[in-house]
Structure 1
Amino acid sequence: MKKWLLLIILVSFSFLGACSTELTEDAASIEEILNNSIAAMGDLTSYSMTLESEQTMGSNEDDSITLATKSEMDLLLEPLSFYQNITMNLEMMGIDMSYESYFTEDLGFYMEEPFSGQWSKLPDQFNEEYMSLTETQLSPEEQLLPFKDYISELAMTEDNDHYTIQLVGSGADMQTLMEHISGLAGEGMDDMFFDVMSDLDIHSIEYEFIIEKETYFQKEANIYLELTMDVMGEKITLEQRSSVIMYNFNSLNDFTIPEDIINNAVELDDEDFMTDFNFDF
């Protein structure tokens, strides 16, 4: 059970079009819109999010594995708390699973084991590490900040209600952007990401986010990533498409973990949590 907990935690972290009528190339306009959106998202107290992702990975077409994931999340940002429901489909292995999780700063992290339905409470030591990771990842304005350094690389279209800002790049030009975005993983994670970066060959990154004109809220993001990485001397290609929808802005007022989950969850200590960490299904 413990190896499944670690796998689904990693999947949880991995993790972000309008009808165009006008093309805008003015960098000053894009920067102003981006700054307004960063300010608006920084004032949020709560929101909901749906993330759908399809990831295909393998050394060739014959041995590729496709993982489809859908995550629905409700979040309060101060104090940080959330509810998450994740469904996963690992096509090659015929695996379908779903599970729920809860987190609050005072009670900690509770996660459902996807096959047995048993709930576990993660070690308290994990809470601080998780907080450093999620506070940055789940702060909407942080997802936009890296693009301020790439204003000249952005293009914008707009319709009556939305701005659509796009960044399209390829190859080595995107290495710096990838390193910049990896910093969103939180304190203590940068070194791990940079070690992995040294073995990556980035072929393509396409990033599009849609901003509502009236509120400057970021409503949607669409991301495409293609890269090759060296894993134990073997070249593995990764292709991922993700779509993020954000809604229910500032409409969530309270958050509680059900009492039956708190009372019946199995508490894991650090040794329990780290034992048997492997991906042999």
Structure 2
Amino acid sequence: MKKWTMTVVAVALAFALSACGQTAEPKENPITGEKEEVVVKSDLTAADVMKKASAAVEAQQSMHSEMVMKQTMEMDGETHEIHSTIDMDMILEPLAMRQTMIMKMDGEDMAIEQFMTVDGFFMKDPQSGQWMKFPGDMYEQITGQIADSQSTAVDFTMYEQFADDFKFEQTNDEYILSLKGSGEKFTTLLKDIMEQNMPAGMDESELDTVSQIDVESLAIEFTIDKKTFFTKNFDIDMVMTIDEEGQKVKIDQNIIGTMSKINEIDEINVPKEVIDNAADMSEMMGR
């Protein structure tokens, strides 16, 4: 979760660097077109706000997040709909996570529950309801991937071309940054973001899939708290096509995320009944 938040913040920071003198306008009501009254207006520029937001992200050690993803895929004349909700608590050091994901695909529901702490990586089988404990090296591998993602430098220069597309607004309590566009330059943006955030060990064929993406439209909006500079929520809409081995797949996707309880979660514990009753996958896999 933090990795994705940092990616969004990095994108916005890059845009801000291209519009250093721009201060936030009062937010416009999307229905009436009228601008909201801002009692205490901030004179910070977009660059100022995003630098502070990036520093705030680095200071985040725990958080609660809720995400809703709606995705429609069109392929070979067929349409598939996927609706997912994710409820998650996370602590970064040492890495601990509790996650519940409910996925509905083509009318079928599937719920996945997970715990990942120093006690191990546990997942509940959605079919049988049996808890499973996976090999210890999976915890180490995931921990390493998250650590690697935090140390990856972002090349902000590749976003300079988006200065004219960047919008910066404010309310009494929040800053709102948004971007809308389409065409090849946004395809390049999405590819760069995805390639920078690929999990470690991804092979060339999977990376090649990214190169086959074309973005028809992309819209990003996220909100930053004026006092703490923590990112509170984001809303991402994208329509893209992927050409894989001559077959075109069109994906229409919307992701809404909300972050709360930042630095308020002190511990995540795996319930005793889960530890006691989980099937040991290491033994079953002969490891």
The question of a shared fold, defined as TM-score above 0.5 by the shorter chain, is answered with: yes
For residues 203 and 159 of structure 2, the distance between their equivalents in structure 1, rounded to whole angstroms, comes to 21
Q: CA deviation at 1:248?
A: 0.6
For residues 43 and 190 of structure 1, the distance between their equivalents in structure 2, rounded to whole angstroms, comes to 32
User: How big is each residue's C-alpha offset from its partner over 1:205-238, in whole Å with a ceiling of 9 and x where there is no partner?
Assistant: 1111100111101000000111111244321100
- Among 141, 148, 157, the residue aligned to 2:169: 157
User: How big is each residue's C-alpha offset from its partner over 1:152-180, in whole Å with a ceiling of 9 and x where there is no partner?
Assistant: 24221111111111122212102332233
For residues 44 and 263 of structure 1, the distance between their equivalents in structure 2, rounded to whole angstroms, comes to 32
For residues 38 and 146 of structure 1, the distance between their equivalents in structure 2, rounded to whole angstroms, comes to 14
Residue in 1 that maps onto 2:101 = 86
For residues 201 and 207 of structure 2, the distance between their equivalents in structure 1, rounded to whole angstroms, comes to 11
Q: Secondary structure at the match of 1:44?
A: coil
* Residue type at the aligned position of 2:279: V
User: How big is each residue's C-alpha offset from its partner over 1:89-138, in whole Å with a ceiling of 9 and x where there is no partner?
Assistant: 11x2x21121210011x22311111121111122233233322334467x
- Among 80, 92, 95, the residue aligned to 2:108: 95
- Among 39, 42, 46, the residue aligned to 1:30: 46
Larger helix proportion, structure 1 or 2?
1
TM value normalised by structure 2: 0.76
Gaps of 5+ in 2: 1-7, 9-25, 29-34, 37-43
Task: Give the share of equivalent positions with the same residue, in percent.
Answer: 28
For residues 205 and 272 of structure 1, the distance between their equivalents in structure 2, rounded to whole angstroms, comes to 43
**1:46-195 maps to which residues of 2 (within 5 A)?**
46-59=62-75, 63-90=78-105, 92=106, 94-104=107-117, 106-135=118-147, 150=159, 152=163, 153-182=165-194, 183-189=196-202, 191=204, 193-195=206-208
Q: How many equivalent residue pairs? A: 245
Are 2:62 and 2:262, in contact at CA under 8 Å, matched by a contact in 1? yes
* Residue type at the aligned position of 2:219: E
For residues 270 and 206 of structure 1, the distance between their equivalents in structure 2, rounded to whole angstroms, comes to 47
For residues 68 and 57 of structure 1, the distance between their equivalents in structure 2, rounded to whole angstroms, comes to 11
* Residue type at the aligned position of 2:49: I
* Residue type at the aligned position of 2:229: Y
TM value normalised by structure 1: 0.77
For residues 40 and 148 of structure 1, the distance between their equivalents in structure 2, rounded to whole angstroms, comes to 22
Are 1:132 and 1:186, in contact at CA under 8 Å, matched by a contact in 2? no
For residues 88 and 209 of structure 1, the distance between their equivalents in structure 2, rounded to whole angstroms, comes to 24
**Structure 2 CA distance for partners of 1:167 and 1:45, relative to 1, 3 Å:** same
Q: Which of 197-206 and 158-167 deviates more?
A: 197-206
Are 2:66 and 2:88, in contact at CA under 8 Å, matched by a contact in 1? yes
Root mean square deviation, CA, Å: 2.9
* Residue type at the aligned position of 1:158: Q
For residues 138 and 168 of structure 2, the distance between their equivalents in structure 1, rounded to whole angstroms, comes to 41
**1:186-225 maps to which residues of 2 (within 5 A)?**
186-189=199-202, 191=204, 193-225=206-238
Larger Rg: 2
Gaps of 5+ in 1: 1-15, 23-27, 274-281
